[in-house]
Amino acid sequence: MDREENDTEALRSANELSRQVLSPKRLCIAVIPCKLVSHRLPKKNLQLVAGVPMVLHAVMKAKSCPFIDMVVVTTDDVETFQREVPAIKSKLFEDVYLIQRSGNACNPETPVYLVVRDAIQLLSLSGTISRTPTHLVMLQPNVPTLPQEAVDILVEAVVEKGFNVARHFDTSGAMTGGCDAYKFPAFQSVQLMDTYNFAFLSTDLEIHTAEDLAFAEKVFTMRGLKNDEP
């Protein structure tokens, strides 16, 4: 199967998109970058935390946020993703668009902003979206401890309140923390999506090693969450 056929298969139709978009004036797209190449922790973004692959924590939180109209997972290896994440065939993924990255966007060293831009370009070229998104949310899969309420607060700040930078800060991954949102006119200087209002959702506890993974499990235990599949 060639690249064009892969793209067509991975992207859903514009009709499905039109049913999902909540507002005719707003198009807020959450992009979840899920690279499978990782040197310190192999296939990091597919590792289980509380019994769930980390990427699915991000998908569930994005889908549960009332201010997000469309959820996109962009990966450097769609075939491996589909094989190792069985939930890709479940109702959880009914309205989630899975994209095979193009060209340089598959390079593990490619900056995240270029990965996000690649996803938006592929959605546009395939006809999946017919207009420019008004808002973008970048939610990394390796922050499974990011609370749902923080996601909602941060995205609302960008979509409803006119902020263009939003982040969550966590106290060692524990139950305390807070949210920041900024109006930052110099945001273009860091080369992130100067066309859009953009939320970068992150916490102090990002998982990069096996030790980080073990600590995240402790955080979920502290919060009293069960290790159940979605």
Q: What is the pLDDT along the chain (230 residues), one digit of tens a residue?
A: 444 444 444 444 333 443 344 455 788 999 999 988 887 888 889 999 888 899 999 999 999 999 999 999 999 999 989 888 877 767 777 789 999 999 888 887 888 878 888 999 899 999 999 888 888 888 888 888 888 888 888 888 888 887 766 666 655 544 444 555 555 444 433 444 444 556 666 665 788 889 888 888 888 888 765 444 44
According to CATH, what is the number of the domain 3-222?
Answer: 3.90.550.10
3-class DSSP state of 53: strand
Phi, psi of 167 (to 5 degrees): -150, 160
Provide the total of helices (H) and of strands (E) in the chain, helices listed first: 7, 9
Pairing of strands 135-139, 96-100: unpaired
What are the tokens at 211? 């030790």
